[in-house]
Amino acid sequence: MPSLPIVEEIEDAKARQSAGTGLAAGTMGGVELMAQSTAGIAPSAVMVSGATLVAASAGPGTLYSYAVSLGVLLLVGWCVAKVARLRPGEDLLSHITAAFGRAVGFVGSMGLAFGYLLIAVGCVAQFAQYTKPLFGVAPPVSAGAPGTSFGFTFVIEVVCVAAASVMMIRGVRVSAWTGVVLEVLSIGAILLVLTLALVRHGLSAAPLLATGITPGQVVAGMVLAILGFVGFESAACLSVEAKDPQRTIPRAVFGSALLAGALYLCSSYAQVVSFGGADKLSADATPLNTLADGIGQHWLALVIDLGAVASNFACVTGSLTAASRVLHSMGESRLVHAKIGSAHPKRRTPHIAILLLSATALAVAVGMALSGVNELDVYSYSGTLGTFGYMMAYILMGLGAPVLLRKLAPQAGVALAAAVGGAVAICLAYVFYRNVYPVPEWPTSLMPWLFVGVLLAASAWYVAGPARRRGEPRPARALVESAG
């Protein structure tokens, strides 16, 4: 029988849902939540370009960067799952707020929403990158090269964001299922290319050996390796819309992370082996296309481009869907303008938040393209900066898990939660530190400080706005959070 604190939490969650959030409560099953997390990760998009970006930083430690990142994020998933079972129907904002108060909850949620937004920006750019060759406009360019065909890029990015916005407003189940179908088709084509490439080049143990690999290389590659996983927790942002959230959310979080990890390890291994080393892999902007052409199957290169287009579109919808739920929750809690917390009366989706985020993502992607930054660099820069936002939210979840367990269910293993959460915080804080010192090359060296600036701006916003409204009447959701 559940303990008294757990019973109180369940009753609080039911009271909040009955009070009405405007969203379609209890409509998404476990498979649909898994689809949402998978779409948020967009594993096939990462398989197309992620290994070459990680290899540029990690070199021969590419596989180790992915393996260590998977291990750390599974610990994050454990913290999310543990808290989700104790606080059903609550999202990440509510968990962080209940553990540390409204101020930390606000800054943490802004970091998470910032991360979702920038991942969407990178995927909008990659949508254009892989659409261009299909129309014969321009081939994808390597990192550091100037962007091309701005007019076509602008049109394609507008079409991508507009279509994603319509789909997200129509309903979360529509966007989730669309995303997972596109991912399955794309992953199938990629695995076929990788299998044929390995058949041609043979297997090798070299990428698995630690010889010549330094810890610094592994950590250097971890920011972009973690980028490949971020979004795996996005199912937790849909806790209001989830059926049986105590069971379905932990399964979706763990399942999507394990699936992505297995795909990335297999993909990066096959690419390193087929290219004859990480150095050659890092020099190719479109490694899977090169492998398809190398085995005499150019038609598979076209299929991969189509798959990359589909996967990046799925990631735009998945990332902005999760971000819109974060902003919706913040609007309900009066942490941002209450209008952002409103939902469409018919579709029951946070349409104001969706439109605001979509317009911002499009403006940033188009602005970077206009300044001459090519799509691969847009993905790398925005992904690196956005990953810091995720990492901060993950650190807060790791540190907050033992705090919440101590409040709600002291008998549920607070010591273990403290050990796991502490390990998460230490690992991710060290990854952030290694991206500050030694000072990396420009413009990567600017990314951590840009993120610090975002946090300072969020803190100033909170002091100027939500902190001054503490005495105002608060809606049911905020009251539940403060009770936690």
CATH number at residue 341: 1.20.1740.10
Asked if residue 2 has pLDDT above 50, the reply is: no
Residue 38 within any structural domain of the chain: yes
Residue 7 within any structural domain of the chain: no
Count CB-CB contacts under 10 A for residue 457: 11
**What pLDDT does residue 10 have?**
38
Residue pair 239/81 in contact by the 8 Å Cβ criterion:
no
Residue pair 480/94 in contact by the 8 Å Cβ criterion:
yes
Greater pLDDT, 10 or 45? 45
Asked if residue 233 has pLDDT above 60, the reply is: yes
The SS3 call for residue 124 is: helix
| Overall domain count for the chain | 1
**CA–CA separation, 97 and 201 (whole Å):** 52
Residue 17 within any structural domain of the chain: no
Residue 15 within any structural domain of the chain: no
* Residue-wise pLDDT tens digits, 293-317: 888 877 887 888 888 888 888 889 8
Residue 434 within any structural domain of the chain: yes
Residue pair 39/167 in contact by the 8 Å Cβ criterion:
no
Lowest mean pLDDT among 196-200, 387-391, 439-443: 439-443
Residue 10 within any structural domain of the chain: no
Lowest mean pLDDT among 12-21, 65-74, 235-244, 441-450: 12-21
pLDDT-derived band at 173 (thresholds 50, 70, 90) equals low
Asked if residue 174 has pLDDT above 70, the reply is: no
Highest average pLDDT, of 100-104, 235-239, 419-423, comes from 419-423
**CA–CA separation, 400 and 448 (whole Å):** 23
**What pLDDT does residue 62 have?**
92
Rounded to the nearest 10 degrees, how much is the dihedral formed by the CA atoms of 142, 143, 146, 150?
Answer: 80
Residue 124 Cα distances to 190, 213, 362, angstroms: 20, 34, 8
Residue 19 within any structural domain of the chain: no
**CA–CA separation, 161 and 164 (whole Å):** 5
Residue 232 within any structural domain of the chain: yes
Q: For the chain, what is the mean pLDDT?
A: 80
Expressed as residue numbers, the domain containing 128 is 26-468
Rg (CA), the chain: 21
**What pLDDT does residue 221 have?**
87
Indicate the pTM of the whole model.
0.79
Structure tokens given for 363: 């403006």
Backbone angles phi, psi at 149, to 5 degrees: 55, 60
